């Protein structure tokens, strides 16, 4: 699993909470940094990768876990 | 020594909690066994759902405002001042006016605030209908409108979740009645993958927008506004050019929560979803927009939460009974879909909403509620 520069635990929050956490974190991150959002909302698995594609950011990894998913996005621009 | 309930906030949630408890404990108030105080930085109450109608010149702004004192139970004290800090240890709230108010039970009902300044250029170039002044200015802009490109751009989080959809559909209907629709290009932008965070509302709105030739831009998070060229830029790299920009700015809680060390990110209060207590504090409750709960920031939510908190406070204040009433995430929102039709959504934590077919009767029910609200606020009905 890739290493994140910043980890946000959004487990327990519902759509659009985890996605908005990712959007806010990428906005303030430096280019090249990786943001990891932990989420228990199943919609995040599709919403965050779709957002990364639209925003031209790099989806690094989606890791499925017992108590939620870890979704990692690198800021590339 | 009377038991003291202090309510911070003189909006919908604050007034409803204070009035509901006062009506249930009138005898104890009369015999000074219980004291209720509302601390509010505003001494007038504004019916915010009316802003939408003001923008289209369908309501007189003056009809939306009433003095807080006139809406409070006569035995409830009102302190017109701004809260500065909660000291949970000494059970006091200090105010900017230098007063210290003691409490046994505290209710935080300080609502939410728009933050257009978070997007550079937005406050300078955009209109909004989330304040009374803003709605009046937007009304003037719409009265002068002869055609062009209108962008309706939404930030998250914001109160009254369906209001942007309502405004856009009412704008379409309003423009048609004025013979302007063919001269207008309307674009609606939204931060997530669909036109609304609630899937059923998104499906309804997307179908209506397509039918009415309203363009939709999703995954559009406002980044900045070029006030010279009138172009709105998104974080995702898409741009929308406009002649009139109407925004629903992102909201935050009242910064007083952060200053007190009780509120978390965004100045929202971490709140337990069952009893609506501020986490870590058995005698502090949060009601309405100010919570961090995954529920809509809406007047109806404030109303239903107020009933739960008031019922529990009545038990605590009268016989020290521990809270037993719970909040189930209940919400109800009317959705105006034009100038003469409306629909609604009703939902809770376990039951997502469906959107019924719009009708004139639901629109008339909403118009009626706009008047009933005042009695509801006083806990008369």
Residue A13 belongs to domain with CATH number: 3.30.110.40
Task: Identify whether A22 is part of a domain.
Answer: yes
**Chain B contact for A47, CB < 8 A?**
yes
Phi (first) and psi of residue B329, to 5 degrees: 85, 20
d(CA B224, CA B283): 42
Statement: residue B177 has pLDDT above 90: yes
Interface with A, mutate which of B158, B216, B218, B219 (most A CBs under 10 A): B219
Based on the structure, what is the number of domains in chain A? 1
Q: Do B294 and A17 touch (CB under 8 A)?
A: yes
Query: Looking at beta carbons, which residues of chain A come within 8 Å of B197?
Result: 15-16
Statement: residue B376 has pLDDT above 90: yes
DSSP state of B127: B
Q: Hey, is A24 helix, strand or coil?
A: helix
pLDDT of residue B375: 96
Mean pLDDT of chain B: 96
pLDDT of residue A9: 87
Contact B115, B251 (CB under 8 A): yes
For range B160-172, the mean pLDDT: 97
Q: Which two tokens stand for residue B218?
A: 């999703």
Query: Looking at beta carbons, which residues of chain A come within 8 Å of B252?
Result: none
Domains belonging to chain B, first-starting first, are 3-111+254-329 (3.50.50.60), 118-251 (3.50.50.60)
pLDDT of residue B65: 98
Task: Identify whether A13 is part of a domain.
Answer: yes
Residues of chain B above pLDDT 70, percent = 100
Query: Looking at beta carbons, which residues of chain A come within 8 Å of B235?
Result: 23, 26-27, 55
**Tens digits of per-residue pLDDT, B328-366?**
999 999 999 999 999 999 998 888 899 999 999 999 999
Q: CA angle, corner B287, sides to B283 and B293, nearest 5?
A: 105
Task: Identify whether A52 is part of a domain.
Answer: yes
pLDDT of residue B156: 87
Task: Identify whether A1 is part of a domain.
Answer: no
Q: Do A16 and B156 touch (CB under 8 A)?
A: yes
Statement: residue A14 has pLDDT above 80: no
Q: Which of A5-19, A62-76, B27-41 has the lowest mean pLDDT?
A: A5-19
Domain, as residue range, for A58: 6-74
Concatenating the DSSP letter of every residue in B2-68 gives -EEEEEE--SHHHHHHHHHHHHHTHHHHHTTSEEEEEEES-SEEE-GGGHHHHHTT-S-GGGGEEEH
Report ipTM for this prediction: 0.84
Q: Do B192 and A56 touch (CB under 8 A)?
A: no
d(CA B155, CA B41): 26
Task: Name residue B39's beta-bridge partners.
Answer: B8, B79
Distance from the A36 Cα atom to the nearest Cα atom in chain B, whole angstroms? 18
pLDDT of residue B191: 93
pLDDT of residue B265: 83
Residue B381 pLDDT class (50, 70, 90 cuts): confident
Contact B306, B313 (CB under 8 A): no
The residue whose two tokens read 């007190």 is B260
Task: Give, for B140, the enclosing helix (H) or strand (E).
Answer: helix B132-143
Statement: residue B258 has pLDDT above 90: no
């Amino acid at each position: 699993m890739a290493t994140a520069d910043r980890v946000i635990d959004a487990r327990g929050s519902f759509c659009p909470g985890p996605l908005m956490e990712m959007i806010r974190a990428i906005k303030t991150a430096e280019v090249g940094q990786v943001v990891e959002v932990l989420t228990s909302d199943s919609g995040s698995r599709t919403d965050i990768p779709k957002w990364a594609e639209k925003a031209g950011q790099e989806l690094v990894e989606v890791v499925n876990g017992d108590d939620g998913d870890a979704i990692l996005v690198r800021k590339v621009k | 020594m009377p038991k003291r309930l202090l309510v911070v906030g003189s909006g919908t949630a604050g007034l409803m909690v204070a009035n509901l408890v006062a009506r249930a404990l009138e005898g104890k108030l009369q015999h000074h066994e219980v004291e209720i105080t509302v601390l509010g930085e505003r001494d007038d109450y504004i019916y915010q759902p009316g802003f939408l109608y003001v923008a289209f010149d369908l309501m007189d702004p003056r009809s939306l405002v009433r003095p807080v004192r006139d809406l409070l139970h006569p035995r409830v004290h009102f302190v017109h001042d701004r809260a500065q800090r909660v000291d949970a240890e000494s059970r006091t709230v200090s105010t900017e006016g230098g007063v210290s108010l003691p409490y046994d039970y505290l209710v935080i009902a300080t609502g939410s605030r728009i933050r257009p300044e978070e997007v550079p250029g937005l406050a300078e170039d955009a209109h909004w209908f989330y304040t009374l002044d803003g709605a009046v200015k937007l009304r003037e802009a719409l009265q002068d409108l002869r055609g062009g490109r209108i962008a309706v751009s939404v930030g998250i989080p914001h109160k009254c979740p369906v209001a942007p959809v309502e405004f856009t559909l009412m704008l379409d209907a309003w423009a048609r009645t004025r013979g302007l629709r063919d001269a207008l290009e309307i674009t609606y932008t939204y931060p997530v993958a669909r036109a609304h965070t609630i899937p059923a509302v998104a499906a309804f709105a997307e179908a209506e927008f397509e039918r009415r030739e309203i363009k939709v831009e999703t995954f559009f998070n406002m980044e900045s506004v070029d006030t010279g060229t009138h172009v709105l830029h998104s974080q995702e790299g898409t741009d929308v050019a406009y002649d009139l920009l109407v925004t629903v700015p992102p909201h935050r809680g009242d910064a007083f929560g952060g200053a007190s060390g009780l509120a978390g990110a965004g100045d929202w209060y971490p709140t337990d979803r069952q009893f609506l207590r501020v986490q870590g504090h058995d005698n502090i409750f949060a009601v309405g927009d100010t919570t961090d709960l995954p529920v809509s920031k809406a007047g109806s939510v404030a109303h239903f939460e107020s009933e739960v908190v008031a019922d529990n406070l009545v038990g605590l204040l009268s016989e020290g009974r521990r809270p037993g009433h719970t909040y189930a995430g209940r919400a109800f929102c009317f959705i105006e879909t034009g100038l003469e039709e409306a629909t609604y959504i009703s939902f809770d934590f376990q039951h997502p909403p469906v959107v019924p077919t719009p009708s004139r009767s639901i629109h008339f029910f909403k118009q009626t509620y706009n008047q009933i609200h005042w009695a509801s606020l006083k806990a008369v009905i």
